[in-house]
Amino acid sequence: MNQDFWNTKNGTISYFPDGSLNIAYEVLDKHLNAPNRNKTALIFEPENGDTVLYTFLDLIKLSNKIANILTNLGVVKGDRVFLFLPRIPELYASFLGIVKTGAIAGTMFSAFGESALKDRFENSEAKIVLTTKELSARIEQVKNRLPKLEHILVVDEENFKQQLEQASEQFSIVHMNSEDYAFMLYTSGTTGKPKGIVHAHGGIIQQKESAKLVLDLKDDDVYWCTADPGWVTGIVYSILANWSLGITTIVYGGRFDAQIWYQILAKNKVSVWYTAPTAIRMLMAKGDDLVKQHDLSHVRFLASVGEPLNPEAIIWAQKVFGKPFHDTWWQTETGSIMIANSPTLEIKPGSMGKPLPWMNANVFNQEGSQAQVDEEGDLVLHPPWPSIMRTVWNNQEKYDSYFKNGWYITGDRAKKDKDGYFWFVGRADDVIKTSGERVGPFEVETALIDFPGVVEAGVIGKPDSLRGEIIKAFVVIKPEVKPSEELKEQLKEHVKKYLAGHAYPREIEFIDKLPKTRSGKIMRRILRAKEMGQDIGDTSTLEEY
């Protein structure tokens, strides 16, 4: 870690006189007696209904009320308090209210079913959960198997509303050390139950700096990060980093709808927009004419996150918005953006960009040595850094598995070109080896998406007695395009021409939608498991359509 760099940044964080801190103070309470006190912090656009505005002062008061309710119920430093809420203002205020008490905030997607909830509550031993009437029924189904879960607070019930009204707007925020735990998220792997990734209060320094550098956030920006706080991006870049910088932030409570998204961008004069490649491709599929119906002249910076962004999407954005999307790479475990196409960096479409100035990233070959230029290998990062995960909850063995020979092993395959740009190849367990040649699924997916009429594609390696593996593609096509054997052959020839003669999918299956996480990552392991007739494993973080 570049300690000298971070020492110079310490002065940008609001520490208490005793040297302690709390990210909720840095994010909200520091604005109490500052110019941003009455500035709009949150513009909430519900799926149905009128826009609601919250100032920083409003959020300070609301989060204090929630913190008081929790402490009255016995919440103390280190307790786990979870949020099972849709994207409503109470989700954002409650997250910060929890952190103010010194408890660890946990977030869960509103699409989770009973099994996913039970796994998370059971592993974390959560004490309290905040939810809605609609969602609480799922929790009730498993509550009798969760002896540590003491209270279910239903935010849209009259009882909670009365508690909120009566609660004090003042709260003495709990002082924390930089290494004390602040929030946790569960992430699914290829095997086993979800793992609880835990982050500390000290991560805010890097989260804030990365938002300034990569997202180019300025004081007068109106900013929209479309990520749900059930995913790390929705916490770090729609609650923490943005509000620590005093940025007016959009939250939309509904499902994806291209027309509504463009309306939100235009109506609120959004200037910085951070979204996922899946959403960008869905917008592409709706065509260019829809974009032209809206005034998006205020949008000055576009960025993407969640999975690699295909070159076609960057080129399309340049055509319809007059500016490209800047792809970013990071993980739940890293806690903030690590590698990015920052505003001043010339974009190479399809590239992850370059490591942030304070990060040391590398690519190692299978011998554990630094890979040559353009040689594929394991993407690694040199720890520590302020926003790195501090533990995997109750699973030291899993935590230790992330580190080897002084490096953090990302589990991603990549290569680095002569100019220092990094290029994503695929997850280590997703890379296909066919006839002795290694093929990254992302490359094949990119080639397929380049074909007219293709919306999305997911690619896996399928065991083959002759070639070791063959490439199989699952392809989503536009509604007006008819699936046929002729189209399959056209796609095969297109990939051969676009990529390589050995890298084309020998099998193609047309499907209605791809299994994806809520962050937009294609779950290739589920495609592979279904193809092989195997158990698909944990699916709790899959996107709901």
Q: Are strands 391-392 and 195-200 parallel, antiparallel or unpaired?
A: antiparallel
Based on the domain organization, do 388 and 460 belong to the same domain? no
Q: Which residue has the tokens 């309470």?
A: 29
Beta bridge partners of 42: 54, 249
Q: Is 290 helix (H, G, I), strand (E, B) or coil?
A: helix
**299 in any annotated domain:** yes
**380 in any annotated domain:** yes
Query: Among the three residues 416, 440, 469, which one is the final residue of a domain in this structure?
Result: 416
Query: Among the three residues 394, 416, 438, which one is the final residue of a domain in this structure?
Result: 416
**245 in any annotated domain:** yes
User: CA torsion, points 135, 141, 146, 147, in degrees to nearest 10?
Assistant: 110
Task: Give me the pLDDT at residue 467, please.
Answer: 78
Based on the domain organization, do 320 and 366 belong to the same domain? yes
**540 in any annotated domain:** no
Per-residue pLDDT of the chain (545 residues; tens, 9 = 90+): 677 788 878 888 999 999 999 999 999 999 999 999 999 999 999 999 899 999 999 999 999 999 999 999 999 999 999 999 999 999 999 999 999 999 999 999 888 878 788 989 999 999 999 999 999 999 999 999 999 999 999 999 999 999 999 999 999 999 999 999 999 999 865 456 789 999 999 999 999 999 999 999 999 999 999 999 999 999 999 999 999 999 999 999 999 999 999 999 999 999 999 999 888 988 998 999 999 999 999 999 999 998 888 899 999 999 999 999 999 999 999 999 999 999 999 999 999 999 999 999 999 998 889 999 999 999 999 999 999 999 999 999 999 999 999 999 999 999 999 999 999 988 777 778 787 676 888 888 988 998 999 999 999 999 887 777 899 999 999 999 999 999 999 999 998 887 777 789 999 999 999 988 877 788 888 898 888 888 766 666 655 43
What six digits make up the tokens of 198? 């835990």
- In whole angstroms, give the CA distance from residue 30 to residue 15: 10
CB atoms within 10 A of CB 163: 17
Based on the domain organization, do 344 and 470 belong to the same domain? no
Domain of 467, CATH number, reads 3.30.300.30
Q: Is 95 helix (H, G, I), strand (E, B) or coil?
A: helix
Task: Give me the pLDDT at residue 543, please.
Answer: 59
Going by C-alpha positions, the residue among 359, 412, 358 that lies closest to residue 381 is 359
Q: Between vectors from CA 410 to CA 407 and to CA 416, what angle results, nearest 5°?
A: 85
Based on the domain organization, do 87 and 193 belong to the same domain? yes
Task: Give me the pLDDT at residue 545, please.
Answer: 33
pTM, entire model: 0.86
- In whole angstroms, give the CA distance from residue 443 to residue 312: 12
Task: Give me the pLDDT at residue 111, please.
Answer: 80
**408 in any annotated domain:** yes
Based on the domain organization, do 410 and 438 belong to the same domain? no
Based on the domain organization, do 167 and 117 belong to the same domain? yes
Task: Give me the pLDDT at residue 115, please.
Answer: 78
Query: Among the three residues 416, 443, 461, which one is the final residue of a domain in this structure?
Result: 416
Question: What is the identity of the amino acid at 521?
Answer: K
Based on the domain organization, do 493 and 468 belong to the same domain? yes
361 Cβ contact partners less than 8 Å away, ≥ 6 residues apart: 338, 339, 355, 379, 380, 381, 382, 422
**300 in any annotated domain:** yes
Based on the domain organization, do 484 and 407 belong to the same domain? no
163: domain range? 3-416
**543 in any annotated domain:** no
Count of structural domains, the chain: 2
Based on the domain organization, do 119 and 78 belong to the same domain? yes
**177 in any annotated domain:** yes
Domain of 400, CATH number, reads 3.40.50.12780
Distance of CA 251 to the CA centre of its chain: 15
Based on the domain organization, do 182 and 271 belong to the same domain? yes
Residue 344: exposed, middle, or buried by beta-carbon count in 10 A (0-12, 13-18, 19+)? exposed
Beta bridge partners of 195: 187
489 Cβ contact partners less than 8 Å away, ≥ 6 residues apart: none
Around 471, how many Cα atoms within 13 Å sit in the side-chain half-sphere?
Answer: 32
Based on the domain organization, do 379 and 494 belong to the same domain? no
Q: Which residue has the tokens 């002082």?
A: 175
- In whole angstroms, give the CA distance from residue 518 to residue 85: 15
Alpha-helical runs (H) found in 128-229? 133-142, 158-166, 204-214
Task: Give me the pLDDT at residue 544, please.
Answer: 47
CB 435 within 8 A of CB 467: yes
Based on the domain organization, do 355 and 248 belong to the same domain? yes
Task: Give me the pLDDT at residue 158, please.
Answer: 97
Task: Give me the pLDDT at residue 188, please.
Answer: 67
